[in-house]
């Protein structure tokens, strides 16, 4: 395909790019005078005289006019500099070192081309006039002689000031360009480059004359593990056109799963914890598709489009398995059919709609026994997901019933947690007991050493022979791997996860990396398996990215994954939580605050952090929204 006439620039505006340089120039106009302002504090120079001298150029005697003129000229120079940068030099300053280089060159050029002539033609004579007016007892001849003697020092000072201006311009315009500036898009590969020269190199070596050195990296999964690897290798190979990166995910967004329970009860808006994967894919192609087959021997992966089910085959040189897991119902069809899950964004929306429907129905129900059944909510799972979900539902249902549904008797509300182990949150030791006591104090009934055996005719049957009449069962009882992972021809753990070595590779296929929920890896120091948590997936992504980079760059070093868990935490109620951080236990409001701050910091973009922060702030003062979302999320009956 001929790509020579395709416009490569996307998200580019000359007006915007020039604006960045102009902003840098204006800020530089202030910073360049900081040295002289600072020296004024010790009386060795006079900034006031400089301002009066500049004002005299437009026949004014006001220092404010001199300051305004200085910033006006800086703006004009910034605009001219920006146009010259992007129209003539075509020099990309998205990296700070390049911005600094350009700033130093700009400062030097402006000093030679502009500052010296202006100093000779305007500032010098005006300075003599100003000094003569201030010191009438000194003759103009003496002042002129003194100005000439100080000319060299003045020029050195002026050069230094313009270099300060240039460096400031370079840093600010570089940062702005990097964050919200130009990108160069290959319309064939649908990948972006921050450098026009790299784009041109890509066009030549990939499309016009394909390079035999091309290495293909294929990432399967768009969660913490997959996106973590993507973000790191994109930076490493940003300007390496011999590396192709592709990512496949069934969802077109990255989901911040620890906040799903809060989303399910209306504390957080759905889109605030979901970030489009395409926002991360700068140097990578994204495919929203389902992985239906993985052939390690032929290095091929078959994917299926989500809408029309059409299939295509992707080849790879290096494969990253980061597909996460799915809900494990342990073969019980009735539980799978009659329970809600808390695994995805759709799950959380369904739970929210269902709870609000139950509240609406119960408010209209005059039969108190039937109202009690409608207001009974059963959550299965004593781990973090189950405990946080039951805490959120307990707060939401009781608060909403009290505030909006006045026909619902508080005594008819029953929130139940079913845990298979002898305690809840066993991962955090004694804090699990605190969590149990806090939840029970808030009205939650907890059954330990108990499993959900079956669901029949809206009756939850427990292994302790207790039967619970309920219209709501939420299953948070376990995870398993995707079926396509189970079918891979390699060594598997009994859980179905693929077994990896210390470098997170398959032993029989060293070009394949696996991490996150679909991989079984052990701590080489203790021999114990690493838990499949987001915390570990994020750290594993760093190791995989480093090993990939070393492999492709020909560096022989392959790093082992060794990681000590920094801690665990759970939010168990409004302004209540538990946290085990670096061996220290926290509970109550402090733990709740630690939970909030930590998960806010792990959101992928500043925009999402601000939105979630505002959601939390609003939740402190107002009841949760009971608006039921569109029925498009409901299951068809």
Q: What is the pLDDT of residue 533?
A: 85
Q: What is the DSSP letter of 522?
A: B
Using CA atoms, how far apart are residues 274 and 43, in angstroms rounded to an integer?
Answer: 57
Residue 332 CA to chain centroid, in angstroms? 37
**The Cα angle at residue 564 between residues 560 and 570, in degrees rounded to 5:** 135
Using CA atoms, how far apart are residues 374 and 604, in angstroms rounded to an integer?
Answer: 38
User: Is the pLDDT confidence value at 39 over 70?
Assistant: no
In the predicted model, what is the mean pLDDT of residues 142-153? Answer: 72
Q: What is the pLDDT of residue 597?
A: 92
pTM: 0.74
pLDDT tens string 51-65: 777 777 777 878 788
Per the listing, tokens 């999402």 go with 608
Q: What is the pLDDT of residue 10?
A: 52
User: Is the pLDDT confidence value at 636 over 60?
Assistant: no
pLDDT tens string 347-380: 999 999 999 999 999 999 999 999 999 999 999 9
Q: Per mean pLDDT, which range of 140-149, 338-347, 445-454 is the poorest?
A: 140-149
Mean pLDDT (the chain) is 86
Q: What is the pLDDT of residue 634?
A: 54
User: Is the pLDDT confidence value at 635 over 70?
Assistant: no
List phi, psi (to 5°) of 68: -60, -40
Give the E-state strand segments of 250-332 in sequence order: 253-255, 274-276, 284-295, 300-305, 311-315, 318-321, 326-327
Q: What is the pLDDT of residue 52?
A: 75
In the predicted model, what is the mean pLDDT of residues 150-160? Answer: 80
User: Is the pLDDT confidence value at 396 over 70?
Assistant: yes
Most confident residue range from 151-160, 238-247, 628-637: 238-247
User: Is the pLDDT confidence value at 68 over 80?
Assistant: yes
Q: What is the pLDDT of residue 158?
A: 82
In the predicted model, what is the mean pLDDT of residues 20-40? Answer: 80
Q: What is the DSSP letter of 500?
A: -
pLDDT range class, residue 467, cuts 50, 70, 90: very high
Burial of 5 (0-12, 13-18, 19+ CB in 10 A): exposed
Q: What residues have CB less than 8 Å from 160, skipping those under 6 apart?
A: 35
Q: What is the pLDDT of residue 434?
A: 95
Q: Per mean pLDDT, which range of 137-146, 435-444, 519-528, 595-604 is the poorest?
A: 137-146
pLDDT tens string 185-194: 777 777 777 6
DSSP 38-97: HHHTTTSS-HHHHHHHHHHTTT---HHHHHHHHHHHHHHHHHHHHHIIIIII-----SHH
CB-based contact 379:389 (threshold 8 Å): yes
Task: Give how far Cα 264 sits from Cα of 344, 350, 352, 380, Å.
Answer: 10, 8, 5, 16
Both structure tokens of 338: 């009659």
Four-CA torsion 160, 164, 165, 168, nearest 10 degrees = 170
CB-based contact 633:350 (threshold 8 Å): yes
Domains of the chain: 9-180 (no CATH), 214-325+481-564 (3.50.50.60), 333-480+567-633 (3.50.50.100)
């Amino acid at each position: 395909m001929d790509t020579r006439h395709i416009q490569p620039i996307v998200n580019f505006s000359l007006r915007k790019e020039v604006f960045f340089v102009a902003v840098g120039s204006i800020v530089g106009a202030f910073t360049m005078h900081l040295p002289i302002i600072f020296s004024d504090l010790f009386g060795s120079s006079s900034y006031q005289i400089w301002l009066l001298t500049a004002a005299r150029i437009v026949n004014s005697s006001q220092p404010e006019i001199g300051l305004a003129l200085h910033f006006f000229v800086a703006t004009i120079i910034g605009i001219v500099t920006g146009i010259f940068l992007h129209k003539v030099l075509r020099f990309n300053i998205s990296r700070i070192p390049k911005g600094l280089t350009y700033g130093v060159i700009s400062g030097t050029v402006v000093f030679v081309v502009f500052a010296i002539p202006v100093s000779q033609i305007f500032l010098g004579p005006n300075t003599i006039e100003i000094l003569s007016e201030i010191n009438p007892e000194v003759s103009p001849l003496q002042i002129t002689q003194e100005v000439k003697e100080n000319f060299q020092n003045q020029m050195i000072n002026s050069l230094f000031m313009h270099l300060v201006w240039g460096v400031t311009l370079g840093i600010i315009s570089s940062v702005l360009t990097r964050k919200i500036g130009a990108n160069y898009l290959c319309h064939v590969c649908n990948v972006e480059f921050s450098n026009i020269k790299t784009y041109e190199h890509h066009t030549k070596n990939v499309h016009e004359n394909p390079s035999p050195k091309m290495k293909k990296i294929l990432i399967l999964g768009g969660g913490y593990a997959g996106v973590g690897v993507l973000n790191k290798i994109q930076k490493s190979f940003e300007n390496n056109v011999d590396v192709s990166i592709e990512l496949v995910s069934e969802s077109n967004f990255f989901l911040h799963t620890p906040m799903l329970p809060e989303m399910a009860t209306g504390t957080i808006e759905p889109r605030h914890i979901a970030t489009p994967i395409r926002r991360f894919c700068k140097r990578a192609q994204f495919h929203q598709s389902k992985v239906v087959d993985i052939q390690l021997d032929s290095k091929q992966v078959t994917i299926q489009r989500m809408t029309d089910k059409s299939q295509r085959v992707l080849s790879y040189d290096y494969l990253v398995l980061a597909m996460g897991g799915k809900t494990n119902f342990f073969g019980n069809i009735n539980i799978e059919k009659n329970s809600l899950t808390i695994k995805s964004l759709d799950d959380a929306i369904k739970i929210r709609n269902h709870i609000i429907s139950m509240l609406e129905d119960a408010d209209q129900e005059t039969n108190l026994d039937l109202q009690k059944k409608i207001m009974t909510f059963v959550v299965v799972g004593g781990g973090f997901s189950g405990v946080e979900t039951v805490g959120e539902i307990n707060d939401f249902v009781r608060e909403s019933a009290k505030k909006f549904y006045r026909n619902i008797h508080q005594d008819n509300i029953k929130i139940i947690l079913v845990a298979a182990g002898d305690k809840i949150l066993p991962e955090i030791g004694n804090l699990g007991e605190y969590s149990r006591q806090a939840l029970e104090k808030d009205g939650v009934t907890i059954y330990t050493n108990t499993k959900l055996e079956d669901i029949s005719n809206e009756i939850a049957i427990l292994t302790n022979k207790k039967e619970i009449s309920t219209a709501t069962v939420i299953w948070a009882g376990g995870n398993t791997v995707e079926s396509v992972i189970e079918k891979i021809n390699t060594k598997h753990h009994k859980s179905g996860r693929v077994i990896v070595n210390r470098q997170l590779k398959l032993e029989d296929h060293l070009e394949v990396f696996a991490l996150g929920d679909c991989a079984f890896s052990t701590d080489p120091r203790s021999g114990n398996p690493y838990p499949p948590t987001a915390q570990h997936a994020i750290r594993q992504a760093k190791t995989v990215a480093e090993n990939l980079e070393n492999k492709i760059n020909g560096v022989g070093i392959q790093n082992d994954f060794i990681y000590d868990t920094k801690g665990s935490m759970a939010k168990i109620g409004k302004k209540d939580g538990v946290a085990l951080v670096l061996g220290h236990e926290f509970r109550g409001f402090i733990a709740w605050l630690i939970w909030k701050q930590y998960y806010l910091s792990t959101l992928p973009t500043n925009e999402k952090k601000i939105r979630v922060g505002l959601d939390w702030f609003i939740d402190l003062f107002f009841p949760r929204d009971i608006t039921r979302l569109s029925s498009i999320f409901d299951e068809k009956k």
